[in-house]
Amino acid sequence: MSVPERDDDGYEPPRGGSREPVFNNIPPGVLLIALPIVGVALLPFIAPELERWVFAASVVVSPGPGQVAPQQPLGPWAPYLLHILIHFGLLHIAMNLTVLVSAGRAVGTSFGTDASGTLGFLVFFALCSVAGAAAQVAFSGAEAATMGGASTGVSGLIAAAGWVMGGYRGMLRLALPWAGLNIVIGIVGIGIPIPIGWVAHIGGTVAGAVLFPVLQPIFARR
């Protein structure tokens, strides 16, 4: 895709690049996230026992009142990051991987495809994922909740892709509709339970909007 020039708000997206199909030239950071997700999705067919261990170690579990959280193999904090590996069905994983690759291509390229840029992209994605999971657990409060999926980090990529393509205004153009959609899901869920971690999505989006302009200049080599 072509990269726009400097936006009015002062953030200058990386220059250069040619118009290419969105799935071409996938940055290494995107692959380092996507491949383990696909690998875990295949575990039920090739290593069911390992799949059960990974699920227990990775899924976020917030116990309700009077309930005790299950013992998780890697402790209670690891799922705040590892939940990105767990998906519930083909549609869930397909949607997350599609956005991961499409938005992640723009964001990963802006960080750079060298070692520094790849590390920065992974750190950014990890922080957005942790922020989304923490937001969901905090919101759940006294209600039991189980959560998995890369949509926390992917939501951060949506906001970051907006920064890349149009600076602050571009970020708002992508982040606000996504956050608004999730608020609608939350309102509808009051009457009709919907198994979607909408607060986690918003938490990841806010983290992405805030962290991208801070981390990208640190890790990207000019």
Q: What is the pLDDT of residue 6?
A: 40
Buried b (16+ CB within 10 A) or exposed e, 192-214: eeeebbbbbbbbbbbbbbbbbbe
Classify the C-alpha dihedral 101-121-1-176 as positive or negative.
positive
Q: Does the pLDDT at position 9 exceed 80?
A: no
* Integer angstrom CA distances of residue 71 from 57, 63, 65, 68, 79: 9, 12, 17, 9, 12
How confident is the model at residue 20, as a pLDDT?
53
**Where is average pLDDT lowest: 27-41, 85-99, 137-151?**
137-151
Average pLDDT over the chain, rounded to whole? 88
Q: What is the pLDDT of residue 21?
A: 54
As given in the structure block, the two tokens for residue 182 are 């999730």
Task: Name the pTM for this structure.
Answer: 0.87
Determine the length of the chain.
Answer: 222
Higher pLDDT, 15 or 136: 136
Q: Which residue has the tokens 């690049």?
A: 17
60 φ, ψ (degrees, to nearest 5): -80, 125
List the one residue out of 204, 202, 218 whose CA is nearest residue 121: 218
Q: Which is more confident, 120 or 140? A: 120
pLDDT mean over 186-197: 83
Tell me the CATH class for 28-219. Answer: mainly alpha
Q: How confident is the model at residue 2, as a pLDDT?
A: 30
In sequence order, what are the residues at sequence separation of 6 or more whose Cβ sits closer than 8 angstroms to the Cβ of residue 153?
A: 33, 84, 100, 125, 126, 128, 129, 132, 204
Read off the pLDDT of each residue in 122-149 and give the average, rounded to a whole number: 89
pLDDT tens digits along 48-103 = 999 999 999 999 987 766 677 788 899 989 999 999 999 998 999 999 999 999 99
**What span, in angstroms and rounded, lies between the C-alpha atoms of 214 and 182?**
25
Comparing 6-10, 37-41, 59-63, 81-85, which segment has the lowest mean pLDDT? Answer: 6-10
Q: Tell me the residue type at 20.
A: E
**So what's the pLDDT on residue 168?**
95
